[in-house]
Amino acid sequence: MYKTSAFNYFVPYRNKIIYYNSLRRSSFVMTMAEHQKIRKLFEDPISFGLEFPSVFAQFQNWGFFTDSYTDELAIFRYFYNKDFVFNNDYHLVLVNTAQQNFSDGFVESITKHINQILNSKEVKRICIEWRGYNVLDVFETGIKPLFNKAKKMCVAESIELTCQIEVKMSNNEVIHNKLYHRKGIPTFQTTLQAIRQITVRNPEYRFKLQVDAFPSDLDAKENFLKILSGISLEHIHLVWNPFKTNKTSVEDNSISSLIQNRLKEDFEEINSGLTYPLMAPRKNLAIIYPDNKAYMSVQPDIPQEMQEAQGTLNESDGVIKWNEPEREKILSQIWFERKKCVSCKHLPLFSQICPLLIIKAGIICPIDNKMIDPETMIIKEFESKQK
């Protein structure tokens, strides 16, 4: 006995139909005529299997059909734990503040920590991400020296190393200067100039620009793309603000015109091209501040002093001493174990986005709030596989 998967999609695309299964991430296209024939067969899986056993078997391999007793949610839980919670990519996030900066001593401690990570022989790849107050100001004194040391160690162990610098900006120069420059943060043009110089002189660095614009505000996106002219876009990953009020009247969430710019842009924490997982709690994720306090997740816009650390970095050997009972508790509390999420058809599709939308008051659903369209997500993923 068979049943159709709960996670099948049939998305119109250039006079064809994308067949997509979000649980298996399977996708391909069919003509409209082929689609009409296949959809009728989908209505009766048993007859489909009897009449066209080899074709049915292929669809089953792709995940479009399952045994009637299969629990697809349990399969998703398995994939999520394997690919995200216990993924072997190590994501190291270093955060400076207005009161604490990346000192020589801190750089040395983090260097020892990276050495400990490599000695464990467990990780396959390391991503270092720098965040915080005026982070571009410490590029030469903190970021660059640490990256150079880490690179030598990773090359020796044949471990891939990626790096990313997070910078917060407004999509509007006047607004940026009013909101950020008042807090001592460099002006809009100063920030752009610094990014431009780093990408030219140091092509190994990437930037994640946190832009104060709503994901579906096409005018804001187009405006910011023009502002970025002259900066090599393959070094930029835009992250839009899902909590920003959407003032545009445009209801079409399609961003096909932006896809052509080779620009990685979403409001999820993960970059699918690099595969280091999102900023939900996971085994191989550590957020460390210059006071050596370590955390398992990042609470956006909440001061460090209001967050409870789960560990401490030992300066002498670079080992993080975690509160293991607390760590195990946090790792076991998966964000989607709530009625609204486990019953959602789009759970596997949005598993890299939704964790960012959970706030103290509850959850902001990207579907309910029209932050992003499932079909747009599927088209983007399908097109990325064709490159």
DSSP H helices in the chain:
32-42, 45-51, 53-61, 72-80, 104-119, 144-156, 173-179, 188-201, 218-227, 256-259, 324-332, 339-342, 374-386
pLDDT under 70 in the chain at which residues?
Answer: 182, 214-217, 241-279, 298-303, 356-363, 371, 387
Contact between residue 132 and residue 101 where contact means Cβ atoms under 8 Å apart? no
Domain boundaries along the sequence of the chain: 1-70, 90-329
- pLDDT tens-digit series, residues 269-281: 333 444 444 567 8
Spatial distance between the Cα atoms of 286 and 294, rounded to a whole number of angstroms: 6
Residues 6+ apart with CB under 8 A from 221: 171, 213, 238, 240, 255, 258, 265
Residues 6+ apart with CB under 8 A from 161: 125, 126, 127, 128, 147, 150, 151, 154
Residues 6+ apart with CB under 8 A from 82: none
Which candidate, 108, 101, 111, 110, places its Cα nearest to that of 137?
A: 101
- pLDDT tens-digit series, residues 96-126: 888 888 889 999 999 999 999 999 888 989 9
Strand 125-132 to 89-96 pairing: parallel
Strand 2-4 to 65-67 pairing: antiparallel
State the number of CA atoms in the 13 A half-sphere of 266 facing the CB: 22
Contact between residue 206 and residue 165 where contact means Cβ atoms under 8 Å apart? yes
149: amino acid identity, one letter: K
The angle at the Cα of 183, spanning 181 to 188, to the nearest 5 degrees, equals 20
Contact between residue 331 and residue 310 where contact means Cβ atoms under 8 Å apart? no
Spatial distance between the Cα atoms of 174 and 223, rounded to a whole number of angstroms: 13
pLDDT score of 366: 72
pLDDT score of 249: 39
Residues 6+ apart with CB under 8 A from 349: 7, 22, 374, 377, 378
Tokens 């195990």 appear where?
A: 328
318: amino acid identity, one letter: G
Q: How far apart are the first and last CA of the chain?
A: 38
Spatial distance between the Cα atoms of 11 and 385, rounded to a whole number of angstroms: 16
The angle at the Cα of 108, spanning 104 to 111, to the nearest 5 degrees, equals 140
Model pTM? 0.81
pLDDT score of 250: 39
Q: Is the Cα dihedral 49, 378, 23, 161 positive or negative?
A: positive
